[in-house]
Amino acid sequence: MSRLQTGTVTTLIREIDLDEVVPMALGGVPEGSVVLDIPEDVPMVAVDPGLLERTVANIVENAVKYSPWDEQVLVSASAIADRVEVRVVDRGPGVPDDAKDRIFAPFQRYGDAPRGAGVGLGLAVARGFAEAMGGTLAAEDTPGGGFTMVLTLRSAAGHPPARPDLPATATS
């Protein structure tokens, strides 16, 4: 978090398919708690794969934590102009409009999260990593009830190809 606050996060941007990173980000949630919908025709994205994995992991872990035990979280992707949107949709209690920006502040947890539920850095780190990669992370209501996190990333189309001699980072 301190590296994000001081603007010293180093990114190693390269072109990658979402289906190479997103499934790896699900390691911290119970099997069967997430449904993936990433169509094959979604363009590659220009991201730091390690930062993207941690970003998606933080968002999905949060969604699973606040979802009803019998509801799956949906992770979907779609292309919009020169961007790719990754949506993480849950059917939990949601967040009131006046609290949507506060949930991204460090050391914040919405509502009555139980002790041991974390220190409230997950969404702050996720937004910071998204912005470090040239993307955005926003919160919105899920139609019919729940909460949706919208991660917007740069499409790799028109982005210079990654240099193959540079290794990818695995920053967390």
Q: Within 13 Å and on the Cβ side, how many CA atoms surround 71?
A: 17
Please say whether the beta carbons of 62 and 118 come within 8 A. no
- Tokens 């994205």 identify what position? 45
Pairing status of strand 14-16 against strand 34-37: unpaired
Query: What are the structural domains, with CATH classification, of the chain?
Result: 2-7+14-154 (3.30.565.10)
What pLDDT digit, counting tens, does each position of 47-104 carry?
999 999 999 999 999 999 989 989 999 999 999 989 999 999 999 998 888 878 778 7
Non-local (6+) Cβ contacts of 53 within 8 A are: 21, 24, 25, 172
45 or 115, greater pLDDT: 45
Handedness of CA 19, 24, 25, 30 (dihedral sign): positive
- pTM of this prediction? 0.80
What pLDDT digit, counting tens, does each position of 6-59 carry?
455 678 999 999 999 999 999 999 999 999 999 999 999 999 999 999 999 999
Partners of 140 in the beta sheet? 148
